[in-house]
């Protein structure tokens, strides 16, 4: 008997925006930060499993559907897995299965110059 895990409610549709201020309290620059979610459930063998670093993408993001399908497949594999691992990183999984340019576009890490 298998359980189906619904993940549609796991992926909200917003980004967190943080404003960085300088000493004069004027806006210096805007930084968009990608949010992550985690999911905790019991696998088919009764072990408690946690999937971490699930990216939260905007509704109009072109990679949202692909990430959702890959997450469903990943959770199904983790659910059936007999390994003793209790924590799985979805981000590390995506790093292995996606092409690097696609991975970089999803996880756009901005490099700040001069420690700004």
37, 112, 94, 60 alpha-carbon torsion, rounded to 10°: 70
- pLDDT on residue 110: 62
H or E element at residue 68: helix 64-80
Query: pLDDT category, 53, cuts 50, 70, 90?
Result: very high
- Is the separation of the CB atoms in 105 and 99 below 8 Å? no
- For residue 50, is pLDDT > 60? yes
Query: pLDDT category, 115, cuts 50, 70, 90?
Result: low
Better-predicted residue by pLDDT, 92 or 59: 92
Domain residue extents for the chain:
8-115
- Reference 59, options 5, 6, 11; nearest CA is 11
Helix (H, G, I), strand (E, B) or coil at 45: coil
pTM value surpassing 0.85: no
Helix (H, G, I), strand (E, B) or coil at 101: helix
- For residue 14, is pLDDT > 70? no
Better-predicted residue by pLDDT, 71 or 23: 71
| Tokens describing residue 40 | 């905790």
Chain segment 62-114, per-residue pLDDT in tens: 999 999 999 999 999 999 999 989 999 999 999 999 999 999 999 886 666 77
């Amino acid at each position: 008997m298998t359980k189906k895990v619904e993940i549609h409610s796991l992926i909200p549709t917003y980004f967190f925006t943080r404003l960085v201020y300088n000493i004069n309290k004027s806006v210096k620059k805007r930084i968009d930060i990608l949010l992550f979610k985690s999911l905790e459930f019991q696998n088919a063998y009764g072990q408690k499993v946690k999937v971490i670093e699930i990216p939260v993408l905007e509704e109009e993001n072109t990679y949202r559907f692909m990430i959702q399908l890959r997450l469903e497949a990943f959770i199904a594999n983790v659910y059936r897995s007999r390994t003793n691992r209790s924590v799985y990183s979805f981000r590390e999984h995506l790093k292995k299965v996606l092409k690097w340019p696609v991975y970089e576009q999803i996880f756009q890490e901005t490099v700040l110059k001069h420690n700004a």
